[in-house]
Amino acid sequence: MAAENGFLTQFVDETTFYNRIVLSHLLPANLWEPLPRFLQTWLRSYLTGNLFYFISAFLWCFYIYYLKRNVYIPEVEFGMYWVHKGLHDIKFLYKHLHATHHMYNKQNTLSPFAGFASHPLDGILQAAPHVIALFIVPVHLITHMSLLFLGGMWTTCIHDCIHGNIWPIMGAGYHTIHHTTYKHNCGQYTICMDWMFGTLEVPSVAEDNGLYQKAKCDY
């Protein structure tokens, strides 16, 4: 009997302690101190439940409408840059995988079809950042597949030699330079990563007008 009374006393003390911590920070004392203990406990549970609900709802909305849009794409862009750069910097990968794509190293040999003229493993490696990003910022399957499809469409656009010159978009003018110097403009959708890591080469006026005909045989 004494043990039961001891547990009851401990329970009441803990409940009072938790009520005081929560309610004293949320409400004026004159609104909750006169209430019976069970009403204080109910009020504390009600307020904290709603607080957690609204906080979690806010974080979910932040994740859906901000984080996915502003983290997923930069994440993929960062991964694509370093995969592409690695395919050039690592001689073994370049020789056995990426060199096939760089057979088209002049403006008069580049076309939208050249964008898909690559080794299958090359394509898998360059799509890997999209898959890796799923483990950091999960997205719906349809969104994931749509972004992969967009990547394929974008690949055709940057090989058509029609430079739109819209900053900071990685237009065909930038990518034509990549096919002739082999060490610049490794990004996918934007020039941001090349700017950050010092590999950006901006097309000149002559290149914008379609006069860029320089060939490169470094490899």
Q: What's residue 218's pLDDT?
A: 37
Which residues are within 8 A (CB) of 163 and not within 5 positions of it... i.e. 6 or more apart? 171, 172, 173, 174, 176, 203, 207, 208
Q: What's residue 68's pLDDT?
A: 67
Q: What's residue 216's pLDDT?
A: 40
Angle at 97 between CA 94 and CA 102, to 5 degrees: 65
pLDDT tens series, the chain, 219 aa: 555 666 778 878 888 888 888 888 888 888 888 888 889 889 999 998 888 888 888 887 777 667 666 777 888 899 999 999 999 999 999 888 888 888 877 666 677 788 788 888 988 898 899 888 888 877 778 878 888 888 888 888 888 877 777 888 888 888 888 888 888 899 888 899 999 999 998 887 445 444 344 434 333
Which residues are within 8 A (CB) of 137 and not within 5 positions of it... i.e. 6 or more apart? 67, 68, 71, 72, 75
Q: What's residue 81's pLDDT?
A: 93
Q: Is the peptide bond before 168 cis (omega within 30 degrees of 0)?
A: yes
Q: What's residue 215's pLDDT?
A: 35
Q: What's residue 69's pLDDT?
A: 66
Q: In angstroms, rounded to a whole number, what is the distance separating the alpha carbons of residues 197 and 9? A: 65
Burial degree of 10 (CB within 10 A; 0-12, 13-18, 19+): exposed
Q: What's residue 2's pLDDT?
A: 56
Task: Kindly provide the b/e burial profile for residues 95-107, where b requires at least 16 CB atoms within 10 angstroms of the residue's own CB.
Answer: eebbbebbebbeb
Q: What's residue 195's pLDDT?
A: 93
